Chain A
């Protein structure tokens, strides 16, 4: 029962919306799709800022159905807008306190904790007018959190910021994710952000929900546009097994295989997220003897899709039986034919690049 259930249909402005999905009420769920596909409309409907026919319930609590429509201020949400939208006539501190005037020590999310987590202690007595874009957005996030929400809605909170500022804020978001047990719906059109933050994914296109489910499953689904896009990749949740003290090479285990990669010191047993681009995975029939590529994993070709640009995208399952984690590999049609590759074949996946995309999380 602990899920966010949404089903909206109707016309908003110029386009038809027909959005229906159900995601777990925990972790980060990214709503991903091109600009103008209705992501923001869905989120505004969940918040009650817009009203369309339909249904919305969060962890069994019905916010909207045929009979009820709970007004915005009675929904236990936090909403972070694209523009920080701070109140210009109030100090940072009073902005933070606005949603929770009588701050009690019993609150689940405490003022001091949030201020420290977001690194805004020094800004408290300033006016929002004198903050940088990144600072403003951090205050907006803090303000939303301090209203003690049961669901945090974030509408492209980083899209108005430049890349440097984004890189400055992303670690804070990751910390939130790790430190707070709060379900987050996160709108983005930037797949890199999604790969860093999201556990679940709702894939949208022209007002419709194409698919929803765990991020790694949707990324590896060859019937969805994600797996065939230029920057197709998979996200793998890995456990740190060991690290060589001399050359810094860490061993991280995923179902059906292990990856080696150079990294800053990692604590053994912690969870990390890896990202492997489809373009970085090539296929071989024998294990290559001398190569600079350190990650060569046994895998089985599960499914293939030929693309119009004379390339083939293959879905691989790690391990001899192909039962392990899923990888995507993209190779040219010519190499594919020359090696006589086909679904069901066991191969060696040579992984040229593996990236750590998420900060440390405490061991489960």
Chain B
């Protein structure tokens, strides 16, 4: 076994963190209104939307990746979008990975935020309205602080889940070093090419990372339930 760890091992790590951070930020912005609507709407078809958002939970990542590949490719809407800046396709690019990750991690962000909004109930918002708060002010001063545990859980899960995705990335990103080669793909590659040291360093890193994420979440949850009672 070669004990020398190749230096470009850090490239996928940095790329993965960039991807996860950007995905999480986008998901907080896009996911919050969706979660709010799912929590408050009385439309009969809202559960259909909720199911659509949740599909990546059960769909094989390769299936989602396949459709994304078609959509992002030259003849799909992604290709049309890419042609705006003279590119042919969004597949096998970093922006394409971000789009894929946003869709794939969406349920992990929307669900906790929706739950938090639902747990809060109508009453605080009603009280705020009777105190002359516009819906906009009530949302930022009451709903967001009260749902903050949900936001925190959503952000952590969204980030962690993006770090760990493999199937979708492989389908739409391939493994272009420095552009689309993320951690999970890199591990796969190292194993394929029998670079066991690199593979085990990354794998162990992932284990430690996952453990810390879950432990942090449990501690936060414990603290939140303590201060809420």
Contact = CB atoms under 8 A, between A and B. Distances in A.
Interface stretch (A71-79, A168-176, A286-294, A318-326): A71-79
Main secondary structure of the interface of B (DSSP, over half): helix
A259 B141 CA distance: 55
Interface stretch (A34-42, A80-88, A263-271, A336-344): A80-88
Nearest to A146: B131
Interface string A58-98: 00000000000001111001110101011111000000001
A218 interface: no
B126 interface: yes
B87 interface: no
B133 A73 contact: yes
Counting chain A residues whose Cβ lies within 8 A of the other chain, the interface size class is 20 to 34
A80 to B, nearest CB: 9
Nearest to B142: A87
Interface residues of B, number: 18
A72 B129 contact: yes
Main secondary structure of the interface of A (DSSP, over half): loop
A99 interface: yes
A152 to B, nearest CB: 11
B146 A147 contact: no
A49 B124 CA distance: 12
A79 B146 contact: no
Contacts of B131: 73, 98-99, 143-144, 147
Nearest to A74: B132
Nearest to B121: A85
B146 A47 contact: no
B33 interface: no
B130 interface: yes
Interface string A132-164: 000000000001100100000000000000000
Given A81-B127, A85-B127, A73 B134 contact: yes
Interface of A: 47, 49, 71-74, 77-79, 81, 83, 85-89, 98-99, 143-144, 147
Given A73-B138, A81-B127, 4 more contacts: A73-B131, A89-B146, A98-B133, A99-B132
